[in-house]
Amino acid sequence: MEIILEDFTKRFGEVTVIEKMNLKIREGELLALLGPSGCGKSTTLFTICGIHRVDGGRVLFGDQDVSRVPAQQRNVGVVFQSYALYPHMSVFENIAFPLTVRKEHKNTIREKVAEIAELVHIGELLKRRPEQLSGGQQQRVALARALVRKPSILLLDEPLANLDAKLRLEMRSEIRRIQLETRISAVLVTHDQVEAMSMSDRIAIMKEGEILQVASPTEMYQQPINDFVAGFLGNPPIAFLDAHVQEGEIHLLNRKIQFNFPGSSMPTNGTKIRLGIRPEHYQPNNPIQIPGTISFVETQGRENLYDVMLDDGSILRSIQSSATESIEKSAQVLWGIQPDKVLIFDQAGNRI
Amino acid sequence: MKAALAELQIELTPYQINTLSQAAYTGWVWTTDNFHKMTILPETKQILFNTIIYVTFTLLLFNVGFALVLAIATFYLPKGQAGIFRALWLLPRISPSVLYVVLWKWLTWDTGFLNAILNPLGVAQRNWMLDTTLNAWVFVVLINGFIGASMGMILFSSAITAIPKPLLYASEVDGANRWQQIRFIILPQLKWPILFVTVYQCLSLLTSFEQILLSTDGGPGSTTEVWALAAYHNALDNYWGNLQYGYGAALALVLVVIGVIMSFIFLRFFRFQELVRQPRIEQ
Amino acid sequence: MSQNFKNWPILTALVLATVPIVLMYSYLVLDTVTNTEPGGILPSSFTLEHWRFLYENIEGKANIWQVTLNTLVFASSVMLLVLSVSSTAGYALSRLNIPFRREFLAGVLILHAFPSITLIIAIFLILQLIGLYNTLIGVIIVMTSLQLPLGIWIMKGFYDSVPWEIEMAGLQDGASRFTVWYHLVLPQVRPGIIALGVFSFLSGWGEYILPTVLAPANNVQVLSGYLASLIADDRNFEFNLFKSVGLFYATPVVIMYLFFQDKLMNIYGGGTKG
């Protein structure tokens, strides 16, 4: 089902957390709400499921306005960050709960629970209690409980935050598999850009109650709308250099380095700009060479991450395969950037 | 029966009371007479029955039942309103008992508030607290219950607040209405606090008599005379000054035995081992 | 809570259930400064005559200020004694490796749950034997010892929640066990001390049975006894006078309660008897 937030406004007392937000979740897609903590992404999620109510605007499920409909009647499946499994009930009772409170027939409940347990691979755990399960298993139970009622939409609130690194990888693909198999519209709230990029069809990136950009992961990575988005996506993060425009050329580092402005909408002479350069685009064999001194080396196994300090004290990052010979700290390097891969922002941070 | 001791205060000097008490105390003698007496006196059956009624009704209706209602109801209210109700329901507990009980008397006596309201409606004037046994019981339970409800209310309230919020949210998006949320999520989480309050308050009620002493004083007749009050009356507050320390003490001893047994049961609830863990310094 | 439920049914039910309390306490205040016609519901005239007990003695009764002083001495002494013993004993039981610690704790715990009022007959006789009957000191000692199991238990609970690391750090820094307790741990349990202090004061202030039974004489009378004697006096009973004395008696309690409400919740929830 298609979900639409229309001019959605949310206040807590005097504080307006979200003002006039618009967002559309397409039928069958997994949309990630990505942003730093406190940006209002969980508030948005809780509003969709009805735990919070809108203070302005509307929430539409298909063409039905559910803004004033209590959570009980919205038929939304939610997986909470802490999973919120009912500790005094068995796994079966937990999954069956949404059906029990709807007073469905016992046999129907048993069939539906069995079916969903099969889907999330916990068929053999039904008799256990939540505290006897591992984190990943609890996660699966929570998923099953959210899905068993065939919800209009599935909401996932930081579903991987409480898992250790290895399980996180596993559950990442599991959640995606289950979502694809059920073809259910889903919203994933997360502060982890890797999670958002790897799991979702589209990402909506949020900051201070506002949606900055909605796009597919690749598009957002390559064409960020501003420096915040560019900085939030990508690990190791993008590096920024100050520069200015002079007669169709970009000058940086006290004019020592100059190259042609790559885009078409050229700013006027003397405009101050910021260059965003991703670590994978500052490499030994690129055309525009920028000299510097290695100030920090981080070994990541498959790759090495280098921080390179330039003459004026600014830092560029480079990530290189560790198969090549590794470079010591304090070594002088002359690596280069590729003009068409450089992201250019104005002083306000907006992409030019 | 009159509140004899209170009257003694007016009519006798302390010296006289002292003399009287000493005269009544017969010195040490080993005897089981008092226990024998306890088993044959018909009053014993009566006070046993009274005690059971008193404890059962007060405990179930107020100390646990109404305390649960209060805790759950205030939980669903906005903070400000909830605070007002909790504060109001704590008033009976913090008020000095003498004052508190007399407020009930003001409500129920011949010239009291109830009569002032009901008289114009054609209801005959009477002492609502003492005119029938049933009424006496109703008010004994109410007077004690209004005090008793607050402990359960506080304990249950904090237990409910301790339930993780997502659990409640989850049940709401899972479709539970309020009654289902209470029944399936909140009450199961209160299992231990309920057990705790039940045992603890059962013990307290068994041995408490202050409010009954001040309100009905066991009356009318001795229809609301409970075990602890009987012990007090026999030993310390006999109308004729014929104080029977021995018999009163024997009655109290029964309560002491029950108290010790229940306290031990209590230890099990408390998970004693955990509470007496060894210190981590100077092992 | 969340907006998925309506409030008004609950609010209505609670308001109805609370009517008796509101009635009783608002009339308590109202009646002290008014007169009501016999059989009337609303007061008919304003008066201060019910407060005359403040400046003149009521026939056959002790002086109110003497009685108030007695009550104050009684309640404060109980508070100080309970505090000093509980704050040290609680620490010892929580943190020191003393002999018979387990047994002592079990004793405290049982006494804590145990209804001490059943002991009153025995206590009455003992006080007579040792000559403390009809003295304030006697009642203070008895009241304190009956309060101690609860006090020690509560303080132990507060000490238990202080992180061990604070003490370990203190010892590493070269402080003695006493210094550690006094300068490092005691400040951490201040909420407990305040709560217990207020609680014991209020218990002493409101206690009726112990003073009445163990020290009934006029010169050691406390407010609860004074109040009870007013109502037991059938010859010239006056409800509004009684309420004025009652309000005079209850006001400090209510004020202290309002001030320390949050801190007191701990104890009223966890430990009281009755």
Render each residue's pLDDT in chain A as its tens digit; 352 residues. 899 999 999 998 888 899 999 999 999 999 999 999 889 999 999 999 988 889 999 999 988 999 988 888 889 999 999 899 998 899 999 999 999 999 999 999 999 999 999 999 998 999 999 989 998 899 999 999 999 999 999 999 999 888 888 888 889 999 999 999 999 999 999 999 999 999 999 999 999 989 999 999 999 999 999 999 999 998 889 999 888 888 778 888 766 677 777 776 777 787 888 899 999 999 988 888 888 999 999 888 888 899 999 888 889 999 988 877 778 888 898 898 888 888 989 888 888 8
Q: Where are the alpha helices (DSSP H) in B185-225?
A: 187-189, 191-207, 210-215
ipTM of the assembly?
A: 0.80
What pLDDT, on the 0 to 100 scale, is given for residue C108?
80
| pLDDT-above-70 percentage for chain B | 81
Instruction: Report the gap between the CA of A326 and the closest CA in chain B (Å).
Output: 49
| pLDDT-above-90 percentage for chain C | 12
Mutation target vs A (from B172, B174, B181; most A CBs, 10 A cutoff) = B174
Binding partners of B (≥3 Cβ pairs within 8 A) = A, C
Contact B167 A50 (CB under 8 A): no
pLDDT above 50: residue C105: yes
CB contacts, 8 Å: A51 with chain C: 2, 4
What pLDDT, on the 0 to 100 scale, is given for residue C269?
54
> Which SS3 state, helix, strand or coil, does residue A86 take?
coil
Q: Following DSSP, what letter does each residue of A169-211 receive, concatenated?
A: HHHHHHHHHHHHHHT--EEEEES-HHHHHHH-SEEEEEETTEE
Instruction: Report the gap between the CA of C271 and the closest CA in chain B (Å).
Output: 9
Domain ranges of chain A: 3-232, 239-345
**pLDDT tens for each residue of B237-260:** 765 556 677 787 788 888 888 878
> Which SS3 state, helix, strand or coil, does residue A327 take?
coil
CB contacts, 8 Å: C3 with chain A: 52-53, 70
Q: Following DSSP, what letter does each residue of C236-247 receive, concatenated?
A: T--HHHHHHHHH
CB contacts, 8 Å: C22 with chain B: 88
| Residue B23, in any domain of the structure | no
CB contacts, 8 Å: C71 with chain B: none
Residue B12: pLDDT band with limits 50, 70, 90: very low
Which residue type is seen at B252?
Answer: A
CB contacts, 8 Å: A51 with chain B: 169, 172-173
Instruction: Report the gap between the CA of B255 and the closest CA in chain C (Å).
Output: 7
Task: Show the tokens assigned to C208.
Answer: 């009726």
Tell me the pTM.
Answer: 0.80
Beta bridge partners of A304: A299, A320
Residue B24: pLDDT band with limits 50, 70, 90: low
Residues 6 or more apart whose CB falls under 8 angstroms from that of C15 comprise: none
From CA C150, how far away is CA A177, in angstroms rounded? 58
Residue C257: pLDDT band with limits 50, 70, 90: confident
Contact B175 A73 (CB under 8 A): yes
Number of domains in chain B: 1
Instruction: Report the gap between the CA of A182 and the closest CA in chain C (Å).
Output: 28
Q: What is the DSSP letter of B63?
A: I
Please report, for chain C, how many H helices and E strands are present, in that order: 11, 2
What pLDDT, on the 0 to 100 scale, is given for residue B223?
85
CB pairs under 8 A between A and B: 67
CB contacts, 8 Å: C260 with chain B: none
Instruction: Report the gap between the CA of C227 and the closest CA in chain B (Å).
Output: 7
What pLDDT, on the 0 to 100 scale, is given for residue C1?
46
Q: A295 vs A323, A327, A329, B186, CA distance in Å?
A: 21, 11, 6, 57
What pLDDT, on the 0 to 100 scale, is given for residue C39?
66
Pick from B32, B56, B35, B31: which is nearest to B44 by CA?
B35
pLDDT above 80: residue C272: no
Domains of chain C: 2-52 (no CATH), 63-264 (1.10.3720.10)
From CA C105, how far away is CA C107, in angstroms rounded? 5
Of B66, B69, B282, the CB nearest to C97: B282
**pLDDT tens for each residue of B60-70:** 999 999 999 99
Mutation target vs B (from A46, A90, A101; most B CBs, 10 A cutoff) = A101
Residue C274: pLDDT band with limits 50, 70, 90: very low
Length of chain B: 283
Residues 6 or more apart whose CB falls under 8 angstroms from that of B109 comprise: B115, B127, B128, B129
Distance of CA A92 to the CA centre of its chain: 32
CATH class, range A3-232: alpha beta
Contact B151 C243 (CB under 8 A): no
Of B93, B107, B142, the CB nearest to C268: B93
Lowest mean pLDDT among B6-10, C185-189, C222-226: B6-10
CB contacts, 8 Å: B204 with chain C: 115, 273-274
The CATH code of the domain that includes B74 is 1.10.3720.10
Residues 6 or more apart whose CB falls under 8 angstroms from that of B10 comprise: C60, C229, C232, C233
Contact B167 A86 (CB under 8 A): yes
Angle at B232 between CA B227 and CA B234, to 5 degrees: 95
CB B12 within 8 A of CB B20: yes
CB pairs under 8 A between A and C: 12
Instruction: Report the gap between the CA of C243 and the closest CA in chain B (Å).
Output: 8
Residues 6 or more apart whose CB falls under 8 angstroms from that of A198 comprise: A172, A176, A217
Residue C266: pLDDT band with limits 50, 70, 90: low
Mutation target vs B (from C14, C105, C142, C153; most B CBs, 10 A cutoff) = C14
| Mean of pLDDT over chain C | 82
Of B164, B167, B177, the CB nearest to A72: B177
pLDDT above 60: residue B16: no
Instruction: Report the gap between the CA of B42 and the closest CA in chain C (Å).
Output: 22
**pLDDT tens for each residue of B105-129:** 888 887 778 888 887 787 777 888 8
CB C133 within 8 A of CB B283: no
Contact B180 A51 (CB under 8 A): no
From CA B180, how far away is CA B186, in angstroms rounded? 9
What pLDDT, on the 0 to 100 scale, is given for residue B241?
59
Report, at the CATH architecture level, how domain A239-345 is classified. Answer: Beta Barrel (2.40)
> Domain span at residue B132?
46-282
pLDDT above 90: residue C52: no
**pLDDT tens for each residue of C128-156:** 888 888 888 999 999 999 889 888 888 88
What pLDDT, on the 0 to 100 scale, is given for residue A178?
92
What pLDDT, on the 0 to 100 scale, is given for residue A98?
93
From CA C108, how far away is CA C272, in angstroms rounded? 14
From CA B245, how far away is CA C122, in angstroms rounded? 9
Lowest mean pLDDT among A43-57, B40-54, B160-174: B40-54
Of A51, A145, A149, the CB nearest to B172: A51
pLDDT above 60: residue B141: yes
CB contacts, 8 Å: A145 with chain B: 170, 174
From CA A128, how far away is CA A117, in angstroms rounded? 13
What pLDDT, on the 0 to 100 scale, is given for residue B6?
45
Maximum pairwise Cα distance, chain A: 78
